[in-house]
Structure 1
């Protein structure tokens, strides 16, 4: 789409909003309403300067606003493009329902299939190590106690959308398929329940922050994209914590959706 076709507004000289922010507002609206689509090139600096009758620095400040929000990305020698957004994954209230495990599907696979996306997992690493202090507290083990640690990266349709690290007590994992890269149908929860420890409930704590450099690299995040940190603790019917999963997810790849009873 030619740049001039999306530039349908002018800045308001009487507004107390800075000119570069008004330009950023116009471009953001064009992205949100589909006039500028994913992967499409934004109007050039020259086009923006001519349309708005502003200096190059003003235009660059406006573009930087979009980059900081994770809406645009520069490609060296080519220009600035609307950032490709990963498919939105919905965290539903029934994502850990037992019926999924009976069908041989772990939560990620079940949810991915529900939105017609292809799920993949890579960078799998299984080891024994002491749990971090906050994880050990949730798992009710001492900080120096060895647990089984499973880390991996999940993707949807080829786009990384999740870094997950599970911590499982050694007595539940050692000598089982939980120690394998592929724990088998239904995932590690199915393997835990096969030991007679039926899962009763999960507690999830969700917070937001900016990603670390390594998280941004592994999730292919551009500047300005925050992440969710979701820590889930799984309990069996006896009230014992049997797993803690520490998950990092791009903020623009997930919709958190929960159904809560009114009583």
Structure 2
């Protein structure tokens, strides 16, 4: 008789043409999705799964490998397999760049973190002048050197995104924007203080699998994709005053937008 909690997992379907190891993975995935196995919870051991399903240990390992490849679970040597912690950050596209937040001295990421009830941090900060890549140059309308601000963002000590802001040098040089800490409200507040009142932002979003360096920087588990978001900020004169190229851990974000119906 199975030693697993009642209702945690079901039985295999012998009439199904779906491979047994995939059926087991399906049931474990459903238990995670429906909260029967919560974030941080330990999955049944290999021995328990072997007993419950009357299958070989290799079959169970193949099932767990599928879930690891999907980024749903993590294997800890000597301890077992656990449901991955996936704290979401809700990005409010219609709100996170609101002027009132800048006037309160808050950056967009701080607003996002506070909405999620989490602590935000920035590390790996680098500020330097460089030539932008062609796609960034086209968005800024210049092939000259720009100021690049690279940083990684952490939420509750976990890396969730890294971003590079590119600002034309005639706007940024010899201003607080070129400092490691540009001050309350971030670079957007400084741009507005310099007379470049922001009018709107354009964003382009794509999802893809991470490069090895991205997976390392964001400490991503196997199978977890990233979201690449490129944002261009325009002032009231129609000039592009910043391009921000951001790569985010896809399992850490919910992109929420309010769209007008008229």
* Aligned match of 1:207: 206
* Aligned match of 1:115: 116
Please tell me whether residue 186 in structure 1 is matched to residue 185 in structure 2: yes
Partners of 1:224 and 1:87 in 2: CA distance: 17
1:84 Cα offset (Å): 1.7
* Aligned match of 2:257: 258
Partners of 2:90 and 2:216 in 1: CA distance: 20
TM-score, length of structure 1 as denominator length: 0.95
* Aligned match of 2:151: 152
Q: Structure 1 segments of 4 or more deviating over 3 A?
A: none
Partners of 1:88 and 1:30 in 2: CA distance: 23
* Aligned match of 1:60: 61
SS at match of 2:258: coil
Deviation readout 1:160-186 (Å, 9 max, x if unpaired): 111111000001111011111111011
1:7 Cα offset (Å): 4.4
Structure 1 unaligned regions, length at least 5: none
TM-score, length of structure 2 as denominator length: 0.95
* Aligned match of 2:100: 99
Aligned-pair RMSD on alpha carbons? 1.5
1:216 Cα offset (Å): 1.1
Partners of 1:36 and 1:261 in 2: CA distance: 38
SS at match of 1:10: coil
Structure 2 unaligned regions, length at least 5: none
Within a 5 Å distance, the mapping from 1:1-263 to structure 2 comes to 4-5=4-5, 7-142=8-143, 145-263=144-262
Are 2:101 and 2:111, in contact at CA under 8 Å, matched by a contact in 1?
yes
Deviation readout 1:11-51 (Å, 9 max, x if unpaired): 10111222111101111121122222222221121211111
SS at match of 1:161: strand
